[in-house]
A and B are shown apart, each in its own frame.
Chain A
Amino acid sequence: MSYVQSLKAKECGAEYPIEPRTICDVDFSPVEVQYDYEGMKGKVTHESIEAGPLSLWRYKDLLPIEGEPKTGFNSGWTPLIKADRLAKKLGVDELYIKDDSANYPSYSYKDRVVAVAVTKAIEFGFDTVGCASTGNLAHSVAAHAAIAGLDAFVMVPHDLEEGKIVGTRAFGPKLVKIKGNYDDVNRLCAQIADKYGWAIVNVNLRPYYTEGAKTHGFEIAEQMGWQLPKHTVVPVAGGTILPKIWKGYQEFIKLGLVEDNKPAMYGAQADGCNPIAKAVEAGEELFHPQKPNTIAKSIAIGNPADGYYVIQHIKESGGYAASASDPEIISAIRLLAETEGIFTEPAGGTTLACAIKLIESGKIPRDEPICVCITGNGLKTIEAMEGQFEHVEPIPAKLGDFDALMDAMNEADEPAPAIAGS
């Protein structure tokens, strides 16, 4: 049974039926899927969710599909790590990492939004899906299109990391490289959606697509034992995730699934592309668009379409925002990998680096539960780690040479590992 009711304009409240639509015809504000929450009470419960599949579809009742999922059968339900070693290093009591670097099939949080969008595209009768992407979305759309048997067109900025492009092309989509940055690709896709009538997942299927992001927050709540972290740090690119994690938390509160502990939301950006962080820090409602210049290419969106709502929800929740430099981002990637065994891409490094800044400035207290949202995998952005590791000179396969190496390491004050059994 579906609890989906209608689409409603975020600003003027005009209502529309469930159809491919991005915006309201009256004021062009975004439209949001509306659900019958009253009807869900008593039916959508801890038990009903726990009885669902080990994927994002366990939250199907709160997702905008009418029938059965057509893809994403193993997407979502990613690990929530209780990061005790990292917590100790940072001097905080309770720290969690929500790890979408492990998402399936394309190792980023995008598999959540795409699983929903592709299922909806099929419900609407489309046979081709497309997207404008900084890489993770193209990869995910290509993979899910392959799983669901649809054609795919992916549009990317020409200088995207190789790891993301090769990974995407393996699934067989048509790839279009655009000479420009993500904002240029976006602008072009808006025109393409107008002209070609394709299901461009982050354009004319946007209201359905964005709902998938709620599941990142739903899982945090369920995996923390049906409670919300007091502080949630989220990367901000186009502005989808933060408002949707907030919406997801509020839906769980409304349905009585978690207690309302007044969770606060924090936006994380790179110094080289921080329109939202700057607006929040200045106490402004509207952001000034920027030309991105950062190693964190997946969040290099200088003109975030939902930026206004990110700022609103941060303020509403009593949260804040921060931005981090490229060196800080890389250090955070290494810190997370070395303390918790999670290798994330620069967007994830950005989120951790900003969480650290917010903790050190006192914006996030050290004695309340904190969740850092990791959205992508470091293996897809190997270029970002260039120059980080010293050259290792090979040695002959002789014990004597190895002994000499150990002696050299000891002299250099690097502790040699203990010999087992001694």
Chain B
Amino acid sequence: MSDTITVTIPAALRPQVEGKDEVTADGETIGGVLDALKAQYPSFGDKLFPGGDGQMNRSINVYVNEEDIRFLENLDTKVTARDQVDIILAIAGG
């Protein structure tokens, strides 16, 4: 049974989700949540998965409770309504 997950959206991606800084979708894993968001907002899906091959744009990072999903189980990372999910662009590095 999947929860409704809240995902924060960075400024650069808000035009693709009707200007919202936060969206919700149901899913048991990050992959599931992103699939649900893709269905709701197709142009958001195009930005996230530009090649259409399931590979995420490498300039976009997803964090669960402030941990990059590449340190967890990537798209298979499980999520519940208690988890904080943030999408942040890989734009800085000093």
Contacts and interface: CB of A to CB of B under 8 A. Distances in A.
B60 interface: yes
B88 A206 contact: no
A184 B88 CA distance: 12
Interface stretch (B22-30, B32-40, B66-74, B76-84): B66-74
A184 B92 contact: no
A134 B60 CA distance: 22
A202 B12 contact: no
Given A28-B47, A289-B70, A303 B57 contact: no
A305 interface: yes
Given A23-B59, A308-B58, A137 B47 contact: no
Contacts of A260: none
Contacts of A131: 94
Contact of B89 (A28, A202, A289, A303): A28
A324 interface: no
A288 B70 contact: yes
Contacts of A288: 70
B83 to A, nearest CB: 16
B1 interface: no
Given A30-B59, A193-B91, A239-B93, 16 more contacts: A22-B92, A23-B59, A23-B91, A27-B57, A28-B91, A187-B88, A193-B92, A194-B10, A194-B11, A202-B92, A202-B93, A203-B91, A203-B92, A289-B70, A305-B90, A305-B93
B63 A27 contact: no
Select the residue from A134, A182, A186 with max chain B CB neighbours within 10 A.
A186
17 contacts: A23-B12, A23-B59, A25-B12, A27-B50, A28-B59, A30-B91, A183-B68, A187-B66, A187-B88, A190-B10, A190-B89, A190-B92, A289-B68, A289-B71, A291-B71, A303-B93, A305-B91
B22 to A, nearest CB: 13
Select the residue from B50, B61, B93, B94 with max chain A CB neighbours within 10 A.
B94
A134 B94 CA distance: 7
Nearest to A189: B92
A306 interface: yes
Give 3 closest A-B pairs by Cβ, nearest first: A238-B93, A305-B93, A28-B59
Contact of B91 (A22, A180, A291): A22
A237 B94 contact: yes
Contacts of B68: 183, 289, 303
A132 interface: yes
A190 B88 contact: yes
Contacts of B66: 180, 184, 187
Given A28-B60, A289-B71, A306 B93 contact: yes
A29 B93 contact: no
B92 A132 contact: yes
Nearest to B90: A305
A290 to B, nearest CB: 9
Contacts of A203: 91-92
A30 to B, nearest CB: 8
Interface of B: 10-12, 47, 50, 57-61, 63, 66, 68, 70-71, 88-94
Given A187-B66, A289-B71, A182 B89 contact: no
A237 B92 CA distance: 12
A42 to B, nearest CB: 36
B57 to A, nearest CB: 6
A238 B50 contact: no
B42 to A, nearest CB: 16
A202 B93 CA distance: 6
A193 B88 CA distance: 12
Contacts of B47: 27-28
A286 interface: yes
Interface string A302-324: 01111010000000000000000
A191 B12 CA distance: 11
Nearest to B89: A28
Nearest to A285: B58
Contacts of A301: 93-94
A187 B12 CA distance: 15
Given A29-B59, A308-B58, A200 B92 contact: yes
A23 B89 contact: yes
Contacts of A206: 91-92
